[in-house]
């Protein structure tokens, strides 16, 4: 098959994936789109939402639809790095052998990542970056594809270890999961309080996903789209001299702007968004479609923004109007 034919097939498979996930997950269409975008872009996702919004069910359903191995790690204050990476133990022959930890899966749900100390957080983030873990000087590759979805509870902050901005930057997307609408919640109650079994059909395999990832990376991007993405990212950085309105917004409300990784993720996300919708190359609208979730966790608001109640999403939306 040619690259264009593969992209056409991806658009068809995207519709099928959405349909299969909808058998279990009511609503949350934007979150489903974001997770699929991260998976096919080869990135990781940070999911913010209060308890009870089906975060675990959503990720589990996604893994079943994609035919991938799923692992869930509940992060707690006493969790050690070896609890997630694995450790060497003495076997019956008094030889050391490596026992793999729960990180050795295709899709890993890191539940409440901000409840565990920085040492364990760093072990996860290293695995995300290197796609391998190192134990006793030996490197063990993680399965491919490898995707981490880390959740944070925005309500309870006592006893948490918030991720520093430098570590947040390793996540491609920051997805905020909102409450369902009245109609959606009504449907949730009706479907989950009866004896009902939803059979999920596997749409893709791991090899097919990696092939789609390869084709997406090969998609061409015209110069004006790249320039728009980089211009948007640089407009988030204060201290450049307020030569235009976008820079004045950054100077007024932002302490630190997004780094070069944001530009890379904007283009990768735009490519994937374009591929899902039957395009052979991304345009500026595809960049705009992923911009808020790519940039949301990369901007540090200053005192004036917090005092005036100006959110990060509002800043990004205003910058995209420029």
List of domains in the chain: 3-208 (3.40.50.300), 221-321 (1.10.8.80)
The H-assigned helical ranges of 42-145 are: 55-65, 81-85, 118-130
Q: Which residue matches tokens 């059979």?
A: 199
Average pLDDT over residues 129-157: 81
Q: Which helix (H) or strand (E) holds 254?
A: strand 254-256
> For residue 5, what pLDDT band results from cuts at 50, 70 and 90?
confident
Query: What are the CA-CA distances from residue 42 to residues 91, 125, 131, 172 (Å)?
Result: 36, 15, 11, 9
Please tell me the distance from the alpha carbon of residue 266 to that of residue 296, in angstroms, as a whole number.
12
- What residues are paired with 300 via a beta bridge? 256
pLDDT tens-digit profile of 112-122?
888 888 888 88
**Residue 228 pLDDT:** 92
pLDDT tens-digit profile of 45-74?
988 877 766 777 788 888 888 888 888 888
CA dihedral 77, 170, 38, 41 (to 10 degrees): -150
3-state secondary structure 120-159: HHHHHHHHHHHCEEEECCEEEECCCCCEEEEEECCCCCCC
* 45-48/300-301 β-pairing: unpaired
**Residue 121 pLDDT:** 82
**Residue 133 pLDDT:** 85
* 147-152/107-111 β-pairing: parallel
């Amino acid at each position: 098959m040619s690259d264009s034919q593969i992209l056409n097939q991806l658009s068809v498979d995207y519709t099928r994936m959405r349909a299969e996930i909808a058998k279990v997950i009511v609503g949350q269409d934007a979150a489903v789109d974001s997770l699929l975008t991260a998976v096919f872009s080869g990135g990781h996702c940070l999911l913010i939402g209060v308890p009870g919004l089906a975060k675990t069910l959503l990720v589990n359903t996604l893994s079943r639809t994609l035919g991938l191995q799923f692992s869930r790690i509940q992060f707690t204050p006493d969790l050690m790095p070896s609890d997630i990476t694995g450790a060497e133990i003495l076997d019956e022959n008094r030889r050391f052998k490596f026992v793999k930890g729960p990180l050795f899966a295709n899709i890993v749900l890191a539940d409440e990542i901000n409840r565990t100390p920085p040492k364990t957080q760093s072990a996860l983030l290293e695995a995300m970056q290197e796609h391998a873990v190192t134990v006793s000087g030996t490197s063990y590759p993680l399965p491919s594809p490898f995707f981490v979805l880390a959740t944070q509870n925005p309500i309870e902050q006592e006893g948490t270890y918030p991720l520093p901005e430098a570590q947040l930057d390793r996540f491609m997307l920051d997805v905020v999961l909102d409450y369902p609408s009245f109609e959606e919640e009504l449907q949730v109650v009706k479907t989950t309080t009866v004896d009902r079994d939803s059979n999920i059909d596997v749409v893709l395999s791991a090899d097919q996903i990696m092939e789609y990832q390869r084709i997406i990376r090969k998609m061409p991007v015209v110069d004006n789209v790249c320039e728009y993405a980089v211009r948007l990212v640089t407009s988030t950085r204060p201290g450049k001299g307020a030569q235009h309105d976008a820079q004045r917004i950054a100077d007024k409300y932002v302490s630190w702007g997004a780094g070069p990784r944001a530009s890379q993720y904007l283009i990768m996300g735009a490519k994937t968004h374009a591929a899902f919708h039957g395009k052979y190359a991304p345009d500026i609208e595809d960049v705009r479609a992923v911009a808020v979730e790519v940039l949301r966790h990369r901007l540090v608001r200053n005192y004036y923004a917090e005092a005036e109640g100006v959110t990060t999403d509002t800043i990004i939306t205003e910058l995209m109007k420029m």
